[in-house]
Amino acid sequence: MSYRTLEIWKLARQLTITIHELSLKLPKFEQYEVGSQIRRSIKSVRSNIVEGYGRRFYKNEFIRFIIFALASNDETADHLDMLFESKSLTDRELYESIKCQIEILGKMLNNFLDAIRKHHNAP
């Protein structure tokens, strides 16, 4: 099995692509400010899922990286809100779609974290 089979990774991957494309369409000054931050935070979600999975034989390490992924997901949501509130992102439909996907990913990460806590067995 690979991290690539995880639904949380698949959604994080899709969000990474969507947010990267969105960020390149922002006003120039935002591409280097919040645009850069939102790209880094969503990439961190994806990377922490992968790193946590790589440490899956160590329950506490696995948990720690999924918590990092959750925190980065929250950070991504805040950056998205900031872009919309400041009118750097004006497409309400796109904003709401991405916001919904981020919320779904947060719920999935929380459920995944609960499952690790309850059902993880040492090798």
Q: Give the single-character DSSP code of 86.
A: T
Number of domains in the chain: 1
Check which CATH number belongs to the domain holding 94 and give it. 1.20.1440.60
Q: Rounded CA gap, 62 and 2, in Å? A: 14
Does the pLDDT of residue 85 top 80, yes or no?
yes
Confidence tier at 121 by pLDDT (50, 70, 90): confident
pLDDT (tens digit per residue) in 15-25: 999 999 999 99
- 1, with CB counted inside 10 A (0-12, 13-18, 19+), is exposed
Q: Does the reported pTM lie above 0.75?
A: yes
Structural domain that includes position 85:
3-119
Q: Which secondary-structure segment (H or E) carries 68?
A: helix 59-85
